[in-house]
Structure 1
Amino acid sequence: MSNVFEFVAEGRGQSGKNAARRARRVGSVPAIIYGGHAEPQMLLLNHNEVIKHLAHEAVYSHILDITVDGKTEKAVLKGVQRHPAKFQVLHMDFLRVTMSEALKVHVPLHFMNEQTSVGAKKGGIVAHAMIDVEVSCLPVALPDYIEVDLSSLDVGESIHLSDIVMPTGVEIVALAQGPEHDHPVASMMASKGSKDDAS
């Protein structure tokens, strides 16, 4: 099994739409790696390998190894362009990582204790307002996901970004922009037939 955290690529000499189309016709995915105090580099990836990697949630919020012509660099996945109708990845963006510098990455949210929460026991239904959150941290502190504990969530209540218990050294980017960015993450909605509706 291939390592989900390693993308093996080759350097792509030509840029432009025509070169990208030619690459896709032979089963390659055009990509670019940039940042990290180095020049951007155009890449080609194997489409079948890319599909295997992208099937794993952790690849979107993990430090990746990008091996280009035998040389390996650390990076995070910053963007994936997919075909609107076909099962095809059209383009990928990677951002080089400097281990001593903080980076911003979207990390998946994992909702815990949803079925056993206070509101669920009353027949309430959880509405998720977010599925991921942008965090800032050093690469060594980057979590695979962020847990959101819903156990105390009652009908009519919401959990906001500021309510999430964050790992050490990890900050939510939106909260640094001010209290008006403390958005709801999940809410417990009353459902028809729930105990609260009877009142």
Structure 2
Amino acid sequence: MAASYELKASARERVGKGAARSLRREGLLPAVIYGDKKPALPITIPVKETTLTLHKGGFLTHLGTIDVEGEKHQVIAKDYQLHPVRDELLHVDFLRVSKNAVLTIDVPVHFLNEETCPGIKRGGVLNIVRHTVEMTVPATAIPEALDLDLATAELGDSLHISAVKLPEGCQPTITDRDFTIATIAAPAGLKETDEAEEAAEEGEEEGED
């Protein structure tokens, strides 16, 4: 299951751009908690701790706890805004998560055994079609990642979602096809060599006739 984090927060009464700028000068960040059929709750969270949590990775796939003046809310970050120039956090949207909730999230794909992959060792290139897969997952069992093993992948192979062992209770939102996650593509030079070899073999066979 994905890791979790906890942030301290305070209820926020003032809203708007002016109030947000004032909060940031104080080292605070405007945010909101919504969902679970409850009113939206505007809050402030510390910029430093929230930025550190973001940079640890998996911010949009890890469950978190927001402690709002002693009342704890289990949440998952659904969106965040960055400054277009300074790349600083400007705002975060958190979704309340109940114990039996099912979430739709993008789960990252990890590729295993690249160094021993037969196709890559022959000069092939891992062409990643999907870095993440949108999935429905139980809130209490969010997978850290999907593992795709390249140990037996050859040149020209297409690797589909069916090659991934899915965690229990998790399934892709795309269900009508066995979609591609990655391919082992041959570089242009190798393709030309293979084609030349095939042409030569065909010529030899014709000569024998």
Give the Cα–Cα distance (whole angstroms) in 2 for the partners of residues 40 and 52 of structure 1: 25
Amino acid at match of 1:187: T
Point out the more displaced range, 17-26 or 46-55.
17-26
User: Structure 2 counterpart of 1:25, which letter?
Assistant: R
Which residue among 191, 194, 198 is the counterpart of 2:193? 198
Q: Any conservation in 2 of the 1:61–1:108 contact (CA below 8 Å)?
A: no
The 1:136–1:57 alpha-carbon spacing in structure 2 relative to 1, beyond 3 Å, is same
Correspondence for 2:181 among 185, 195, 198: 185
Distance 1:137 1:122, change over 3 A: same
- The answer (yes or no) to whether the contact 2:103–2:136 under 8 Å persists in 1 is yes
- What is the RMSD of the two structures over their aligned residues, measured on CA atoms? 1.9
**What are the within-5 Å matches in structure 2 for residues 1-199 of structure 1?**
5-175=5-175, 178-179=176-177, 182-194=178-190, 197-199=192-194
Q: Secondary structure at the match of 1:167?
A: coil
Kindly, what percent of the aligned residue pairs are identical? 32
- What is the letter of the counterpart of residue 23 of structure 1? L
User: Is the 2:4–2:63 Cα contact (8 Å) retained in structure 1?
Assistant: no
- 8 Å Cα contact 1:66/1:74 also seen in 2: yes
1:133-160 CA-to-partner distances (Å, cap 9, x unmatched) read: 2221221221111111122222222222
User: Hey, which bits of structure 1, 4+ residues long, moved more than 6 A?
Assistant: none
Distance 1:30 1:156 in 2: 49
Check the 8 A contact 1:4/1:53 in 2, yes or no.
no
Helix, strand or coil at the partner of 2:165 = coil
* Contact 1:5-1:59 within 8 A present in 2 as well: no
After TM superposition, the score normalised by the length of structure 1 is: 0.88
Count of aligned positions: 192
- SS state at 2:59 partner: helix
Q: CA shift at 1:127, angstroms?
A: 1.5
Q: Which moved more, 1:35-44 or 1:161-170?
A: 161-170
Question: Which string of whole-angstrom CA distances, capped at 9 and with x for unpartnered residues, describes residues 40-71 of structure 1?
Answer: 11111111111111121243312111111111
Residues 15 and 23 of structure 1: CA distance in aligned 2, closer, same or farther (over 3 Å):
same
CA contact (8 A) 1:60 1:107 kept: no
Can you list the C-alpha shifts for 1:103-158, whole angstroms capped at 9, x where unaligned? 11222211111221121121101011222222212212211111111222222222
The answer for unaligned runs of 5 or more in structure 2 is 195-209
Work out which of the two has the higher radius of gyration on C-alpha atoms and give 1 or 2. Answer: 2
